[in-house]
């Protein structure tokens, strides 16, 4: 017998839904249970352009933390993380 914790829309497959949830659970666990992040704290998110990193960035910002983020450079040296709540972007090559 299945007891789903989240209702998956018909147009999204189980594997896609599981992948999205996994990154969200990773991000929440790291910030809430391991880092005990609260409003006013400062957090550095490494590889904020990854799926788990972008969820961490958004959660930390929503919870009122000051967010700095690392990202790997791409060919053009830009990743779209500026609108996600980071207050300081650090470049990693």
pLDDT of res. 2: 59
pLDDT of res. 64: 92
Cα–Cα nearest to 60, from 83, 81, 85? 85
Interatomic CA distance for residues 52 and 72, integer angstroms: 14
Predicted confidence pLDDT, tens digits, the chain (93 residues): 555 577 788 888 888 877 778 888 899 999 999 999 999 999 888 887 788 888 898 899 899 998 888 766 555 445 555 545 555 555 554
pLDDT of res. 65: 92
For domain 14-92, say whether CATH 3.30.530.20 is its number.
no
pLDDT of res. 84: 52
Angle at 70 between CA 43 and CA 39, to 5 degrees: 15
Quote the pTM value: 0.66
């Amino acid at each position: 017998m299945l007891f789903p914790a989240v209702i998956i829309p018909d147009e999204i497959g189980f594997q896609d839904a599981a992948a999205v949830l996994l990154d969200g659970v990773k991000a929440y666990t790291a910030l809430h249970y391991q880092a005990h992040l609260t409003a006013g704290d400062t957090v550095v998110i490494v590889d904020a352009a990854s799926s788990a990193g972008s969820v961490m960035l958004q959660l930390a910002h929503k919870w009122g933390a000051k967010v700095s983020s690392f990202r790997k450079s791409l060919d053009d040296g830009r990743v779209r993380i500026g609108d996600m709540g980071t207050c300081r972007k650090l470049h990693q090559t």
